[in-house]
């Protein structure tokens, strides 16, 4: 049972209109009351907001609004007090300092969410969803994260575990009270089909998980091609606003765009665009090794060619280097010459200048990464890398159990594999989680979350 009271600044550090200092624990209302000049917080109803001042040793520190949440219907299930103060770094820190002096302890990163988990308010997947919501970069990824917070992933895993538990229970019962004289027959006729069924459910989840990962993390994308072929113009067309500077003089493009483009829900994370879109020739300027590194790192290559220029040796080299990657060859400036100069597989003709072919290009990218329509209300897109790893572990153990059955190994050997799958699935929701796993997980949170 956790008893101490923790406090931390929950809003981002930096100047803003308002900062929030949060406390959780059994003394939080008492501590807040000691430094609050206003209503007696110890007698107010839960989920109410109170106006007043933080006063410490007769000094008025700030004018604040305090919200009181009483256990158990709170985020952590403990008493929670949130102080909305003015958004200066100094004043928020000052209030935190006062709370610490009055008996609260400084919360570790993620400790509020950790308490919510340890107190049984949320499972591990929901705790992680809090982080996913904070990090969401698109409507689709936010919607997935919200599914996680609603406990949809939890339900999914619990259902798989129930299936598995039924299989294990079957074995246990038959080891203790053999209905079948022949254990081999038992495993082949009864257990194996159940395992195979469960296996295919997990495989299906993993297949969709690649979509989930794309939705959540986006696609690392490199836009490459010779100077002046229209890379910046393409970027502008994709961004639908003029952020990159495009000039007529060869080699005067300057990269000022970094980061993400959202194309209808999928985030393209542009990698090292500065390096790639330098005014000099890619290979000449940054060297073949660097070019290779960028290409290796990219999950998608957008290779831009000018329809009106012949291929150079470097173009050929880059084509060769990228041939096994997910690649779209973009033949640009097709407005200038109606005759298509280049033909390639997986290519598209566009005019970045006139913004023609851009919707088709977006469609191609989407199809490449999310074959079929993604339905954001489907709760089965698992996107968290840790969950995917654990599902793979469970899958491997289940496959091992099928091999064990095929090799006619003793049924308790089969059971060992099934139990390994059980705990791998359990780790997803934090059921058999070790302290280490928890430490690692919650340390990823920011302070005050
Ligand atoms: P980058 O060096 O590859 O980034 O090329 P830019 O985007 O800076 O484009 C170089 C020049 O080509 C600029 O003058 C653009 O206006 C022009 N350009 C880019 N795309 C097109 C296109 O589709 N059609 C035509 N006619 N000109 C284009």
- Give pLDDT, residue 283: 54
> Is the Cβ atom of 277 under 6 angstroms away from ligand 1?
yes
Q: Is the pTM of this model over 0.85?
A: no
Both 291 and 343 in one domain: the answer is yes
Band (378; pLDDT cuts 50, 70, 90)? low
> Is the Cβ atom of 226 under 6 angstroms away from ligand 1?
no
- Give pLDDT, residue 421: 93
Across the range 365-384, mean pLDDT stands at 70
Both 314 and 358 in one domain: the answer is yes
Q: What is the CATH number of the domain that holds 70?
A: 3.30.1360.120
Both 252 and 313 in one domain: the answer is yes
Give the span between the Cα atoms of 165 and 146, in whole angstroms. Answer: 28
Give the span between the Cα atoms of 389 and 424, in whole angstroms. Answer: 9
Q: What is the CATH number of the domain that holds 198?
A: 1.20.120.430
Give the span between the Cα atoms of 80 and 24, in whole angstroms. Answer: 4
- Domain membership of residue 444 (yes or no) is no
pLDDT exceeds 90 at position 3: no
Give the span between the Cα atoms of 369 and 266, in whole angstroms. Answer: 9
246 vs 41 pLDDT, higher one: 41
431 vs 164 pLDDT, higher one: 164
Six token digits for residue 148: 């996680």
Looking at the DSSP assignment, which residues form a beta bridge with residue 52?
Answer: 64
Q: Which of 323, 338, 369 finishes a domain?
A: 369
Asked if residues 387 and 371 have their Cβ atoms less than 8 Å apart, the reply is no
Report the number of distinct structural domains present in the chain: 3
Give the span between the Cα atoms of 318 and 291, in whole angstroms. Answer: 8
- Give pLDDT, residue 371: 65
Give the span between the Cα atoms of 216 and 386, in whole angstroms. Answer: 13
pLDDT exceeds 70 at position 242: no
Band (169; pLDDT cuts 50, 70, 90)? confident
Substitution site in 225, 229, 233 for ligand 1 pocket (most atoms within 8 Å of beta carbon): 233
**Domain boundaries, position 168:** 129-215+384-430
Tell me, in angstroms, the distance from the centre of ligand 1 to residue 272's CA: 20
Both 236 and 96 in one domain: the answer is no
Both 354 and 392 in one domain: the answer is no
Q: Tokens 């917080």 identify what position? A: 41
> Is the Cβ atom of 228 under 6 angstroms away from ligand 1?
yes
The mean-pLDDT minimum among 85-89, 145-149, 274-278, 423-427 falls in 274-278
Both 224 and 361 in one domain: the answer is yes
- Give pLDDT, residue 270: 79
Measured CA to CA in angstroms, residue 414 lies from 114, 293, 353, 401 at distances of 35, 44, 63, 5
Band (345; pLDDT cuts 50, 70, 90)? confident
- Domain membership of residue 166 (yes or no) is yes
- Domain membership of residue 439 (yes or no) is no
Both 240 and 310 in one domain: the answer is yes
- Give pLDDT, residue 445: 53
- Domain membership of residue 377 (yes or no) is no
Model confidence over 32-75: pLDDT tens digits? 999 999 999 999 999 999 999 999 999 999 999 999 999 999 99
- Domain membership of residue 447 (yes or no) is no
Give the span between the Cα atoms of 8 and 40, in whole angstroms. Answer: 22
Model confidence over 256-313: pLDDT tens digits? 345 677 787 788 887 655 444 444 455 555 566 766 777 888 889 999 999 988 888 8
Q: Tokens 């103060």 identify what position? A: 85
Give the span between the Cα atoms of 94 and 88, in whole angstroms. Answer: 10
- Domain membership of residue 237 (yes or no) is yes
Both 276 and 183 in one domain: the answer is no
- Give pLDDT, residue 41: 97
- Domain membership of residue 162 (yes or no) is yes
């Amino acid at each position: 049972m956790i008893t101490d009271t923790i406090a931390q600044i929950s809003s981002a550090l930096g100047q803003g209109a308002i900062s929030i200092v949060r406390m959780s624990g059994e003394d939080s209302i008492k501590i807040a009351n000691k430094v609050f000049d206003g209503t007696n917080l110890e007698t107010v109803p839960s989920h109410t907001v109170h106006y007043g001042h933080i006063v410490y040793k007769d000094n008025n520190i700030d004018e604040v609004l305090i919200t009181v949440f009483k256990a158990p219907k709170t985020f952590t299930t403990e008493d929670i007090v949130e102080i909305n103060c003015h958004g200066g770094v100094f004043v928020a820190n000052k209030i935190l300092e006062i709370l610490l002096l009055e008996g609260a302890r400084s919360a570790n990163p993620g400790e509020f969410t950790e308490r919510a988990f340890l107190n049984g308010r949320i499972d591990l997947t929901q705790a992680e969803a809090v982080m996913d919501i904070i990090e969401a970069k698109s409507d689709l990824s936010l919607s997935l994260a919200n599914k996680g917070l609603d406990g949809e992933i939890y339900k999914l895993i619990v259902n798989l575990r129930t299936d598995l538990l039924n299989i294990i229970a079957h074995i246990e019962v038959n080891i203790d009270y053999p209905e079948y004289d022949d254990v081999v027959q038992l495993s082949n006729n009864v257990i194996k089909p159940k395992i195979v069924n469960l296996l295919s459910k997990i495989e299906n989840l993993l297949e969709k998980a690649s979509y989930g990962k794309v939705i959540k993390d986006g696609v690392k994308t490199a836009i490459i091609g010779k100077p002046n072929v229209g890379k910046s113009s393409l970027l502008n067309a994709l961004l639908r606003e003029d952020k990159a500077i495009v000039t007529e003089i060869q080699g005067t493009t300057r990269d000022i765009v970094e980061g993400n483009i959202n194309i209808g829900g999928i985030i393209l994370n542009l990698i090292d665009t500065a390096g790639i879109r330098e005014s000099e020739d890619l290979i000449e300027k940054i060297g073949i090794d660097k070019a290779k590194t960028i290409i290796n790192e990219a999950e998608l290559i957008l290779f831009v060619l000018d329809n009106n220029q012949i291929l150079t040796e470097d173009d050929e080299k880059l084509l060769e280097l990228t041939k096994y990657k997910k690649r779209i060859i973009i033949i640009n400036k097709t407005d200038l010459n109606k005759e298509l100069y280049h033909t390639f597989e997986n290519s598209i003709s566009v005019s970045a200048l006139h913004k023609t072919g851009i919707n088709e290009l977006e469609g191609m990218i989407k199809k490449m990464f999310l074959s079929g329509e993604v339905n954001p209300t489907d709760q089965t897109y698992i996107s968290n890398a840790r969950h995917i790893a654990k599902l793979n572990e469970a899958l491997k153990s289940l496959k091992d159990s099928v091999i064990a059955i095929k090799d006619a190994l003793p049924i308790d050997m089969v059971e060992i594999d099934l139990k390994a799958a059980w705990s791998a699935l359990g780790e997803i929701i934090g059921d058999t989680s070790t302290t280490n796993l928890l430490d690692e997980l919650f340390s990823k949170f920011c302070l005050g979350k």
